[in-house]
A and B are shown apart, each in its own frame.
Chain A
Amino acid sequence: MGLQEFWFIAIAVLFIGYFVLEGFDFGVGMLFPVLGRTDTRRRVLLNTIGPVWDGNEVWLITAGGALFAAFPEWYATLFSGFYLPLLLILVALILRICAIEWRGKIDDPTWRARADLGIMIGSWVPAVLWGVAFANIVRGVGIDENKKVTSSFFELLNPYALLGGATTAIVFALHGAVFLALKTSGEVREDAVKVAARLSIPAVVVAGAFALWTQLAHGKGWTWILVAVAAAALVGVVALTAKAREGWAFALTTVAVIAAVALLFGSLYPYLMPSTTDDAYSLTIYNASSSPYTLKVMTWAAAFMTPVVIIYQGWTYWVFRQRISTAHIPPSIGLPLKSR
């Protein structure tokens, strides 16, 4: 395997890490209106991801940095070409970060309602738009001889891409519901199990349709395995949520997300951004990569650092493995809106 192939896989792994970990973070935020009927319950939801969401998000930042380092042409074409979706994602992420961190700082219902709105926007928008963006990457967009994306924002909203957005949204919501069932106890857990059960069947239908479309239009022979794994995992989630076996259900939603992202990257390979204008303008791992030296340096860095990161992030999950219920939530220590 050459370094260009290795870095294609490494970028795929970084995005898999991002979607597996932020998938349930987004799901938790998306389910605020459904599962968070009282303030205490919303705090239960939020605190299941409290210590880890920031570290989860860094998978995206590092994926962005790795894209820049390993495939600068891809980084440049993708981010300048998908300008408006990326702008919307960034705005949503900014709102979400501030809303999560600042929500409890002031003990006031209006303040918290606004923070909750920020968390919901910040979870829904990226959950949909990442699917739209990745579907378009696989489908290909108009790219001209200057490596500039010529497709407009509205051309990015084609049926296949919208189905991709619906898929990521519903799968992340399901992933989040199952995660909440795993991380909570009491009434929140019971409700999360119910929501997961209700989401699991539409998730199978929507994600199944998207996976099949991807496979038939862009897939390769071997990616049928990934379609089968994703489908089997999601069907398994249906069965397990019905029995409230959330540990296994979470393992399976994780497998489904991994298989789905792997399917997208597998269908893409060896392209990075196929051009619908002329195949000669397509970006591939061969014409868009950095020099062998840069790839070698980055490979050493990734080989040393990735295991360390996975170990300490895993340890964090272990430290905060305890289930949370409404009874665990301390009274608000935020300051009142007006000073004494």
Chain B
Amino acid sequence: MDALDVSRWQFGITTVYHFILVPLTIGLAPLIAVMQTMWVVTKKDHWYRLTKFFGKLFLINFALGVATGIVQEFQFGMNWSEYSRFVGDVFGAPLALEGLVAFFLESTFIGLWIFGWGRLPKLVHLATIWLVAIGVNASAFFIIAANSFMQHPVGAVYNPEKGRAELTSIWTLLTNNTALAAFPHVVAGAFLTAGTFVAGIGGWWMVRNMRKAKETTDTAVAAERESAARTMFRPVTIFALWVMVASGVALAITGDIQGKLMFEQQPMKMASAESLCHTETGAGFSILTVGTHNNCDNITHLITVPGLTSFLAKNDFNATVEGVTEIQARMEAQYGPGNYKPNLFVTYWTFRAMIGWAAGSALLAVVGLWMTRGGRVPDKKWFGWLSILMIPTPFLGNSAGWVFTEMGRQPWVVAPNPTGVDQIRLMVNQGVSDHPTALVWTSLIVFTVLYAALGVVWFWLIRRYAIEGPLPHDAHPPGEGPPEPDDSGTPKQLSFAY
């Protein structure tokens, strides 16, 4: 592999890793804010316990999300310096705005939230978690606006003197239709992830408490266990299940809008997602294929839904959709000789994996809402296991979706906008830094090993805290209100310390 391939692997590995953690943060922050709001409004202690319980899991995740995010801010300059020179005038702005508007907000207020229990007035403390929730979502918007420029460049002109893209309208950049479709799609994915996470853990604890209540002969313990299942875990699970339903619907709608946009803006990506080798009228949607995909024409389509691809592209079952071969020929005519096809195997299967993994959350949502209908509290062991086992599915779906959207953009790093400025386009081999391969191998190995080790610790900590459940010392809120502790006499202990 040369420096280009190693750089691509490195960016892929570090970004996919970062995006395992990010959706949980984006989705879980608002859910915890809702839990804490429920506590402040209803004054019921179990909402406080849930806030603390999921808050701990949130913070374990937040740390690694921040740590892996730092690398991304510098990796453009380190490995993709020619790309950075070409688009810096445009691409740098949303990145800097993300720092100024979002990162400062979330990092400052997360500190206030963690350490502010019992120190800040209740409503001010509640506001801090809401500001964190706004911050994490705002940062998602800016970075998606930046990414959308690479998929569909707008708001910029090409300056031939400097040989770079230059920003002409920040408003156009931030309201790129690609960004406006991608942002809700990503946020919906994040809410589905967090919803499945909360419902999965909540469902598992509901079953576990009900079973323990039946197993024990101590009536007081049994009553306490059953009460935890009924009054604490059932409401939070149902809440999370409805979050899943809502975000699932939003995912489907925004996904459809995004797909239609992509058929217009990046037809090659969509044609290869469907492994549609030749232009067809009334093109079918392929569900299963065999073949290496290396050569477009040696794929055998085994199951195909007639007309569906045409419908997905243009809302018309009989519409004509361009195929990979024809787009390749058109691009050669437009941009000169070259291979403009992404990896067909990866785009085809990640597109199906993205949609397919959503079935995990859908299954849990349907079964969970059925099992808890009309005041029921499930005690079936299989339901506990189903809840736990469905937790990874949205994470896998998120990764597959991003691998699809980024690998589908290949070989471009800035894909040409069919209706935009023709010169604003860059192939990945023109964007990479001119480094010796060994140097990039070094950073690839360092990051991969470090991330793998930290990933193991992260998973172990999350699992450890999830299995431990809400902790006894979080049973009741600390002293209400914020009387400033005076330093005379015995000092008041901090409500939280690292």
Chain A residues close to B by CB (< 8 Å): 43, 46-47, 50-55, 57-58, 61-62, 64-70, 72-73, 75-80, 83-84, 86-87, 90-91, 93-95, 97-98, 100-106, 146-148, 185, 290-291, 293-294, 297-298, 301-302, 305-306, 309, 312-313, 316, 319-320, 322-325, 327-330, 333, 335, 339
Contacts and interface: CB of A to CB of B under 8 A. Distances in A.
28 contacts: A43-B497, A50-B498, A51-B116, A58-B103, A58-B107, A61-B70, A61-B103, A68-B77, A68-B92, A75-B76, A76-B85, A78-B77, A87-B78, A87-B442, A90-B71, A102-B461, A103-B498, A105-B60, A105-B461, A146-B434, A147-B85, A185-B487, A291-B167, A312-B109, A319-B112, A323-B487, A330-B494, A333-B473
A327 B489 CA distance: 11
B315 to A, nearest CB: 37
Contacts of A312: 104-105, 108-109
Contact of B77 (A76, A148, A322): A76
A74 to B, nearest CB: 9
A127 to B, nearest CB: 16
Which of A43, A95, A319, A325 counts the most B-chain CB atoms under 10 A from its CB?
A319
B459 to A, nearest CB: 12
B92 A294 contact: yes
Interface in B85-132: 85, 87-93, 95-101, 103-105, 107-112, 114-116, 119-120
B92 A65 contact: yes
B304 interface: no
A313 B92 contact: no
A43 B498 contact: yes
A312 B491 CA distance: 27
Contacts of A324: 494
Given A83-B439, A97-B67, A328-B494, A305 B78 contact: no
Contact of A76 (B81, B457, B498): B81
Interface in B429-473: 433-435, 439, 442-443, 446, 450, 454, 457, 461, 464-465, 467-468, 471, 473
B66 interface: yes
Contacts of A100: 63, 498
B498 A94 contact: no
Contact of A66 (B66, B67, B96, B434): B96
Contacts of A323: 487
Nearest to A185: B487
Interface of B: 56, 59-60, 62-64, 66-71, 73-74, 76-79, 81-82, 84-85, 87-93, 95-101, 103-105, 107-112, 114-116, 119-120, 159, 164, 166-168, 170, 433-435, 439, 442-443, 446, 450, 454, 457, 461, 464-465, 467-468, 471, 473, 484-485, 487, 490-498
Contact of A335 (B76, B81, B465, B497): B465
B99 A62 contact: yes
Given A62-B104, A94-B68, A327-B490, A298 B435 contact: no
Contacts of B73: 61, 64-65
A80 B81 contact: yes
A17 to B, nearest CB: 11
Nearest to B482: A319
Contacts of B76: 68, 75, 79
B110 A54 contact: yes
Contacts of A47: 494, 497-498
A335 B92 CA distance: 43
Contacts of B92: 65-70, 72, 75, 290, 294
Nearest to B64: A98
A92 to B, nearest CB: 11
A69 B457 contact: no
A51 B115 contact: yes
B99 A66 contact: yes
B96 A62 contact: yes
Given A62-B104, A64-B73, A72-B164, 6 more contacts: A66-B99, A69-B96, A100-B498, A320-B119, A328-B494, A339-B467
A340 B301 CA distance: 53
Nearest to B472: A333
A64 B78 contact: no
Nearest to A339: B467
Contacts of B90: 294
A31 to B, nearest CB: 16
Contact of B93 (A46, A69, A91, A97): A69
A55 B96 contact: no
Given A80-B77, A333-B473, A325 B115 contact: no
A86 B497 contact: no
Contact of B85 (A43, A73, A327): A73
Contacts of A320: 115, 119
Given A51-B115, A90-B71, A94-B67, A73 B450 contact: no
Nearest to B142: A65
Contacts of B110: 54
B497 A329 contact: yes
A260 to B, nearest CB: 23
Nearest to A68: B92
Given A319-B112, A328-B491, A94 B97 contact: no
Nearest to A55: B108
Contacts of B495: 330
B89 A98 contact: no
Contacts of B82: 76
A66 to B, nearest CB: 5
Contacts of B85: 72-73, 76, 147
A162 B169 CA distance: 44
A104 B494 CA distance: 14
Nearest to B112: A316
